[in-house]
Chains A and B, each alone.
Chain A
Amino acid sequence: MTTPTATKPNSPAGPARSDQPRKVKLDSSEAVLRTVSHLGVGLFALICLLPFVLIVSASFSEESLILERGFSLLPQGFSTAAYELIFSAPRQIIGSYVVTIVMTVSGVVIGLAITSMTGYALQRKDFPLRNYISFFIYFTTLFSAGLAPTYLWIARTLGLRGNYLAVFLQLLLSPWLIILMKNFARSVPYEIVESGKIDGAGDFRIFAQLVLPMLKPALATIGLFTALSYWNEWYLSSIYLGSIVEFPPLQYHLYNIINTANALRNSVAGSNVALSDLPSNTLKMASAVVATGPIVLVYPFVQKYFVSGITVGAVKG
């Protein structure tokens, strides 16, 4: 189960529940509300799903039929030509995959280590500097230098233009996730810390051996959000990597395919040359499927941590 209902599967009681067997008349308003609710929720879920169906259908369509009739919900004809084209020269897509996976995995490991240490330390009531450091971190959400000064600093002064580190490092920590971790860590009873101290453990050992195992759900949630920010990253890449690196992160690679294929097609149409054999429409859609696929496949397994990220709430400084 995926929502907060998980904790109490059968308890939420509507008024028309069977534990009141004497209520003979099934209130007609209940039936209406239930029908409307099913229709409304079902319809909205369908609207959320349909665009994905559109993309997959289009990716398996025949380019000639797309040019003739346009995209539609069901594939126009059936062809795997676009996928064959992508995988006939897989160097590019494999390179982007490797870059993205390496960044995501190392970013999650390092980011989690730092976020959990900091979040834990900042909620220890016996840490005199906790309020100052908390505000030091929180302040970055209130005021920022803005894009251009940050760009000058990172690209010019630090010399990271065209360097994967410019993207990797900036995504490593988020003030929100540190605050979230701090709130998670509050749920660990202070007695745990005290018992560790009595046994002579230092603060780091208490954290690593006693507290961290209790923070597994928090680690899963924050790890997931970190992983998503790396996996879905295209923005920093567009600023700091541009066309300098051969293998841009996956989503920026997809971004380029959408925009450069567009440019290509426009230039061809503008000079009155017949459209080339490049199946640009289906190619774009197939690229979107290839770039998105894995994240949708893992989604069902990580969804509950995705939900707890928002329900833990209390994102305060």
Chain B
Amino acid sequence: MAVQPAQPGLELPTRGGKPTGGTTASFWRGMRHSKVLLLMCVPAIVFFLIFSYAPMPGVWIAFTNFNYRDGIFGSPFVGLRNFEFLAKSGQLWLLTRNTILYNIAFILIGNLLQIALAVMVNEIRSRYFKKVSQALMFLPYFVSVVLIGVIAFNLLNYETGTLNNLIVQAGGDPIKLYSMAGAWPFIIILAHVWQSTGYGSIVYFAAIMGMDQSMFEAAAIDGASAWQRIVHIILPNLKPTFFILLLFSLGGIMRGNFGLFWNLVGNNAQLYATTDIIETAVYRMLLSQNNFTSSTAVGLYQSLFGFVLVLVVNWVLRRINPDYALF
């Protein structure tokens, strides 16, 4: 396979082609020679123009009292009133808090488990055991989130859920999880971890595989125990990977695992206090409430906030090492 495992973000630009000169004249000479290359990019350029850039002026809706008849730019302008309303009602704060807290939990718990899993997989010598267990671990990431919703229903529903079945068999009373807001942070974090830990551990596993094997041999000759090998060699060497992944994911802290949240919780208003994140609110405001202004306003808030975060993260990465920078 032509691809070698690499730590994300750590790959240096490799092959040097002919650098283009700086002058305008040579730019146009270069353009004449690369007409075909430009043509090869045209379908993608048209695609992103139509599906990503063309809708952007529509964020104007966030500053209007939108109605269909007058359209996006004909509807009355209301300035920042939509944002004021969302902020005063406390909804914006609730959504921001939930989104960020869930992401922090996902990032910290997820990375810890991924590292632990990668270290353990690395200790397994039986190829067959490794192959089968890894195949099973990646499977949850491969299937659709709708299926995860089905699994949650199977496990958690009040009347026929597997969990309540077990509780009743043990002599307890069944619990109504779908109306217990307090239980859902745990359920959602568990589901997220179940879905993504196996797949996420590949990065760390690849990093361990890429470590200089002579370090391990030297440690063995010096009589290092297995525990010392992990604590003093493997973990310190995973640190750069961990920090880069951490920074990458901080840039996305305003986004969410929408599919998972929606398929687990959906339109269950009893759970919003602990489960509503920005993306579920944007989706519900549009599709269930037909509220274009709020949906656009919250979406724009997320996009701008997220954009600034990525810029900050990129600045930090560039300070650490220009090769780590995202752009």
Interface residues of A (CB under 8 A from B): 1-7, 9, 11-16, 20, 23, 27, 29-30, 32-34, 36-38, 40-42, 44-49, 51-52, 54-55, 58, 66-67, 69-73, 114-115, 117-118, 120-122, 124-129, 133, 135-138, 140, 142-154, 169-170, 172-173, 175, 178, 183-184, 186-187, 189-190, 202-204, 207, 214, 217-218, 221, 228, 231-232, 234-235, 238-239, 251-252, 254-255, 258-259, 281, 284-285, 288, 291-292, 295-296, 299-300, 303-304, 306-308, 310-317
Contacts and interface: CB of A to CB of B under 8 A. Distances in A.
A14 B216 contact: yes
Interface in B225-271: 225-227, 229-230, 258-259, 263, 266
A284 B135 contact: no
Contact of A232 (B17, B145, B166, B210): B145
B197 interface: yes
Contacts of A12: 122, 209, 213
A126 B40 CA distance: 14
Contact of B226 (A33, A142, A152, A239): A33
A184 B3 contact: yes
B171 to A, nearest CB: 15
A4 B307 contact: no
Chain B at the A interface: SS class: helix
3 cross-chain pairs, A with B, having the tightest CB-CB distances, nearest first: A125-B17, A15-B220, A149-B58
Contacts of B117: 40-41, 44
A189 B15 contact: yes
16 contacts: A2-B134, A4-B4, A41-B121, A41-B129, A117-B44, A125-B18, A145-B58, A148-B295, A150-B51, A203-B36, A204-B39, A254-B146, A291-B146, A300-B135, A310-B199, A313-B7
A296 B224 CA distance: 43
B147 interface: yes
Contact of B144 (A58, A173, A251, A307): A251
B124 interface: yes
Contacts of A284: 150, 153
A66 B15 CA distance: 62
Contact of B2 (A9, A126, A140, A217): A217
A116 to B, nearest CB: 9
A300 to B, nearest CB: 7
A58 B59 contact: no
A125 B5 CA distance: 24
Contacts of A49: 136, 139
A288 to B, nearest CB: 4
Contact of A145 (B7, B17, B52): B52
